[in-house]
Structures are given as C-alpha cells and as structure tokens.
Amino acid sequence: MTFFFRLSPILAVLTLLGCSQHSPSDPQCRQSALLESQAVDQSFNTNDTQAAVCLIKTQDKAVLIRHRLSGKLDFPGGGVNEGESLSCAAHRETWEETGFNVLVRKQIGKTSNGLALFACDLDSGIDLLPERFSPPSWAALEVIAIEKVDPFLLNHKALRYADDLIPLRDGFIAFDTN
C-alpha cells in the first residue's frame, strides 16, 4: 500500500504531462534569398555564437516575449541545433515561442552574451493584434505573453538580459537599412 502512495504523485505528473499539447512540427526555414546566398556577416560572428534571435518590427514597436520564470521581456530565439544555421535557428525558435512563421531577412547585430540578432518579417496581420496577447498553447510553459513594445521607452530592468537593451535599440534602427 505504501508503494502505491509513493507512485501516485509521479503518476499524476506523468498523466498531466502526457496530456499537454505539443507544438506542431516546425515549418521549413524561411530566409531571404540574399541571406541564403551569402555567408552571415562575419563582423558579427565569433566561435562563441551558438544562439540566434529574431527582431520583429511592427510599425514603431518591437515584438518581444515575456518569460514565465523571470517575468521579463526577451527576444524570441534560442540555441542552434546540430547542423542548423544561425538564421534557421532564429526561425525555428521564433516559431516555437510565438507561433510566427517569420521570414529571416538579414543579421543586424549580436548581443553581448553571444546571440546573433536577425531582422525577421511576418507576412501580415501583426499590426492588427493587441499590444499584449497570449502565446500559442505549446509555448505557454516558457512564455507568458507576446508584447509589442517601443524599445526606446524600455529600460534595462525590463529585459531578461539587461545588456540586450542597446542591441535591441541598434537592431531596431538597423532593421530597415540595407
């Protein structure tokens, strides 16, 4: 009888996790033809770059995620899988955290903690969404909300990594340049 009671919490957790909604398959990596044909700008890269993020711009705001554990804002993005390019990692991670199937256009910077920052576009509709909205169900374990914010009204304390404020602002300015 004691054995059954010890297993009950474990079985309950496994049952809950077994019923959780998994993300659909990742869409095919979408990147601009220019990005596909060129090596990523070497001025941004060193051997320590093992993660990539997307900067999505909508009108005068950037689209960021709010992390569940820290409660702070961050770029959608993350680590590179084996054999994956930085731009495809930015695409995949953005899909996993936001549900957005972005087009990765160009690398526009690098953060001090080694994240490659890419300009990423959405086909349409982001402008119609509210300033804050829920992530897809599969991202809810990591992401509380998706938010559109003015990067020039943020302070470093609002970000998960305080040092990302300057790359966020620089990337926002560089977003529309060639």
CATH number reported for the structural domain that contains residue 31 in this entry: 3.90.79.10
Cα-Cα-Cα-Cα dihedral sign, residues 30, 36, 39, 43: negative
Give the model confidence (pLDDT) of 76-112 as tens digits: 999 999 999 999 999 999 999 999 999 999 999 999 8
Domain count, the chain: 1
42 falls within a domain: no
85 found inside a domain: yes
Q: State the residue range of the domain holding 64.
A: 27-37+48-174
For residues 120 and 176, give the distance between their C-alpha atoms in angstroms, rounded to a whole number.
Answer: 11
The encoded tokens of residue 93 equal: 């991670």
Domain assignment present for residue 170? The answer is yes
Give the pLDDT confidence of 124-139 residue by residue, as tens digits.
Answer: 788 899 999 999 999 9
Q: What does pTM read for this prediction?
A: 0.80
